[in-house]
Structure 1
Amino acid sequence: MSSLQYPFLVSDIDGTLLNSKNEISKENLRSISLFRRLGGCFTLATGRNYLESKRMIDQLELLFPVILCNGAILYEPATQSLLPIHTMSRDLMMAVLQDLEQKMPSAVDLFAYGVDRVYARKVSPQTQAWADQNDFQPEVIPSFEQIPDTPCIKIVAVGGPEEINLLQEWSRTIHLPVDFIASSDNYFEILPAGASKGNALARLLQKLHLVPEKAAAIGDHCNDLSMLSRAGLSAAVANAHPSVLQQAKVIVPSNDADGVSHLIHNHLIHPFSRAKTP
């Protein structure tokens, strides 16, 4: 039985656990291993799908369910199964995609996520460069109408600052059963209503018979806010979005300075330091 004050830790991946080389540092790996040896439960919560996350899941040898697609899917390592917990109808996905294609400039890349596949009509060179480093291989199709009639998970729009501002403005005009979240400075997501890392974390903690007060969570961007609000101890890496830095109870060094390791050693294993010290 764990004697840790926070026996459960969930971490975002991009900008949090991964450094700017797209790697989990040796220090983070060692600290996660120590946390687990002391009885702690560790898992991930990410906007990525399973194939994009598999490298980290395998490297960490995760035992507990992983929150994928910003809370729309849970991955169960024990059975290697994907459980969609929030989906949108195909008609709804098509309506949103059609509206986006009509109103957004061509600089915006659109990706439609199924449970285990991602579809696109085009991939810009900038997005492809990121994709090549992150196990992200969408299936390029002539029309989104060719998406199979399978569970629809989410839509991701990718663009620069001007395009993201346009997407934010567009979202305020939409009155459909979907939610919107920025998962990075260049990624804007349209999710099934109710899908969030926070709601998925609550579901997971209930499954593990843990109260939220016993959970710690760490992240860096707006899609992590709901998760941080559900955890007994919320942490942000120093490179986090201003809204995340403001909400977090603890600020740790950046993703390039082993922030996850710092959280484990200074606030989970030695939980009495509470100051916001990057």
Structure 2
Amino acid sequence: MSDSAGRPRLIATDLDGTIVRSDGTVSARTVAALGRVERAGATLVMVTGRPPRWMAEVAAAVGHRGVAICANGAVLYDLHTERVLRSHMIEPEVIAQVVERLREAVPDLRFAVEYPTGFVFEASYNLGTWDADALGGRPVDGETLVSRGGTKLLAFHPGTDTDSLAERAIKAVGDLVTVTHSSGPLEMSAPGITKASALAEFCAEHGISPEEVVAFGDMPNDLPMLTWAGTSYAVANAHPDVLATVTHTTAGNDEDGVAQVLERLYPAAQDEAPS
């Protein structure tokens, strides 16, 4: 299904590895292509594992267009106003139980907890560049770590492949949280919370069916969204599991693969001049 011109009513796209290039930028071509979506009267939704605190630069880069589903579905965030609209939390007692089980199953794990705004982390947790530079984070002891509910629990291991680590975590705590990953640590959300659940909730509120949605992604945390959407695309640089699941593929993130598809889907929408 689509609008009267045959175009999708909603575009859902992941960020890192999908529209964000390897150098951390969003190209002028991609910004222009994203602009076509809203000018055509469709809805643009950024669907990402990023927490809200990582969204300011993206919001600015895309002209504060659309809404964002952050933290793998746990947070709905307005890019126009840069404001959290709602969040789904993991209860503190669940975080405590998950951490205890995972420490037994996989020794030497290090943990961090995301909140709708801000985060805490164990001193041994390996902060990435974004976390190290972000405001609002602080190191805490193990008791403080599990004392408050969060939107996402992160687990980092210094010497284990993330795919195999995810398999072990699902066996250990899959009854308590939703376990996934992208390119870094394990990412755990409240039960049933995924990119797909949040996108489905948003679409139901706006009378949009899965068949009217085109989704783009590259990593395992995108799989629920890609299987839910009526039409799904993987960029060429995607994880093998993603490439095996989607209905279509496009060029890689460094070749503006998403922009190439959007230019075909919304050919009548006039581009803004690239900066």
1:8 alignment partner, one of 7, 10, 13: 10
Q: Is the 8 A contact 2:27 2:256 kept in 1?
A: yes
1:21-40 aligned at under 5 Å gives the runs: 21-40=23-42
Which deviations, in whole Å up to 9, do the C-alpha atoms of 1:142-196 show, x marking residues without a partner?
x132248554212112345625324522431336421111222x32112110100
Cα distance change, pair 128–223 in 1 and its aligned pair in 2 (3 A): closer
Corresponding residue number in structure 1 for 2:242? 244
2:96 alignment partner, one of 90, 94, 97: 94
Alignment TM-score, normalising by the size of structure 2: 0.85
Cα distance change, pair 158–250 in 1 and its aligned pair in 2 (3 A): same
| 2:238 match: secondary structure | coil
Corresponding residue number in structure 2 for 1:269? 266
Q: CA RMSD in A?
A: 2.6
Corresponding residue number in structure 2 for 1:256? 254
Q: Is the 8 A contact 1:15 1:255 kept in 2?
A: yes
1:207 alignment partner, one of 185, 205, 208: 205
Corresponding residue number in structure 2 for 1:117? 118
Unaligned runs of 5+ in 2: 268-275
Report how far residue 4 of structure 1 moved. Answer: 4.5
Question: What letter corresponds to residue 69 of structure 1 in structure 2?
Answer: A
Cα distance change, pair 247–96 in 1 and its aligned pair in 2 (3 A): same
Question: What letter corresponds to residue 69 of structure 2 in structure 1?
Answer: I
Cα distance change, pair 138–123 in 1 and its aligned pair in 2 (3 A): farther
Distance in 2 separating the partners of 1:2 and 1:150 = 48
Distance in 2 separating the partners of 1:123 and 1:16 = 30
Number of residues of Structure 1 aligned to a counterpart in Structure 2 = 265
Cα distance change, pair 84–100 in 1 and its aligned pair in 2 (3 A): farther
Report how far residue 99 of structure 1 moved. Answer: 3.2
Distance in 2 separating the partners of 1:236 and 1:54 = 25
Runs of 4+ in 1 over 6 A off after TM superposition: none
1:169 aligns with 2:168: yes
Question: What letter corresponds to residue 30 of structure 2 in structure 1?
Answer: N
Cα distance change, pair 83–170 in 1 and its aligned pair in 2 (3 A): same
216-225 or 82-91, which deviates more: 82-91
Alignment TM-score, normalising by the size of structure 1: 0.84
Question: What letter corresponds to residue 128 of structure 1 in structure 2?
Answer: G
Unaligned runs of 5+ in 1: 271-278
Distance in 1 separating the partners of 2:118 and 2:88 = 16
Report how far residue 7 of structure 1 moved. Answer: 2.4
Report how far residue 81 of structure 1 moved. Answer: 3.5
